[in-house]
Amino acid sequence: MQSLKGTKTEQNILSAFIGESQARNKYTFWASTAEKEGFVQIARIFIETAEQEREHAKRLFNFLEGGEVTVSATAPAGVVGTTLENLRQAAAGENHEWQHMYPEFAKTAREEGFPLIAAVMESIAVAEKYHAERYEAFIKRLEENSMWVQESPTTWKCLNCGFIVVSKNAPEKCPACAHPKAYFARLEESF
């Protein structure tokens, strides 16, 4: 691969690295808030997503060749709000990344002769879209007060012990381990 030094792609990689690093830290802060507010599943999703953002940052960082790179970037100086506010901030950031930032960065990389970097950025955009969709689903559930309620019976899983129950509502308390309703999530089998 040709050298990145002095290219717009090098600057874009560093900007994306900075953004992914910031998102990772915000998500860990917001996970604490979600847990304190009784949203264990959302807290775990924030932590899971934070680790995925770390992997994006690592992949991008490994393309850099060292030295000093100057970038001019605007970053959201968000605050730690309520879980709903934090989810809205997270969804907005993820939507920006997959709809605008990564497609633009990939286009530049391809134009500058870095097809591998372009492909990586396009692949990261796929993950960012999923992150946004997941956050938006939680926003909807919180706004509709349906975090632990469903119109038709669904399978609920205790995130602490694995107890499973089919019901319209998550149990107030897990009959197996006595953890509160906050530990229940809709079971989504992916095996």
Shared domain check, 139 and 54: yes
Shared domain check, 125 and 103: yes
- When pLDDT is averaged across residues 39-47 and rounded to a whole number, the result is 96
- Per the structure, the complete domain to which residue 176 belongs is given by 149-186
% of the chain beyond a pLDDT of 90: 81
CA distance 147 to 158: 14
- When pLDDT is averaged across residues 13-39 and rounded to a whole number, the result is 96
The residues, any chain, with a CB within 8 Å of residue 124's CB and separated by 6 or more, are: 16, 56, 59, 60, 97, 102
Shared domain check, 106 and 88: yes
Mean residue pLDDT of the chain comes to: 92
| pLDDT score of 191 more than 80 | no
pTM summary value: 0.87
| pLDDT score of 162 more than 70 | yes
Q: Output the CA torsion sign for 111, 117, 120, 126.
A: negative
pLDDT band per the 50, 70, 90 thresholds, residue 177: confident
Tens digits of per-residue pLDDT, 134-154? Answer: 999 999 999 999 998 888 899
Number of domains making up the chain: 2
CA distance 189 to 191: 6
Beta bridge partners of 66: none
The bridge status of strand 184-186 relative to strand 164-169 is unpaired
Shared domain check, 102 and 14: yes
pLDDT value of position 74: 74
| pLDDT score of 77 more than 90 | no
Shared domain check, 153 and 75: no
Closest CA to 90 of 138, 55, 126, 125: 138
pLDDT value of position 16: 95
Beta-sheet strand order (sheet of 164-169): 164-169, 149-158, 184-186
Shared domain check, 137 and 55: yes
Phi-psi sector, 82: left (phi>0), alpha (psi -120 to 50), beta: beta
pLDDT band per the 50, 70, 90 thresholds, residue 14: very high
Shared domain check, 120 and 153: no
Out of 15-19, 58-62, 70-74, 94-98, pick the least confident.
70-74
pLDDT band per the 50, 70, 90 thresholds, residue 190: low
% of the chain beyond a pLDDT of 70: 98
The residues, any chain, with a CB within 8 Å of residue 136's CB and separated by 6 or more, are: 91
- When pLDDT is averaged across residues 103-114 and rounded to a whole number, the result is 98
Phi-psi sector, 136: left (phi>0), alpha (psi -120 to 50), beta: alpha
Shared domain check, 164 and 102: no
Shared domain check, 72 and 21: yes
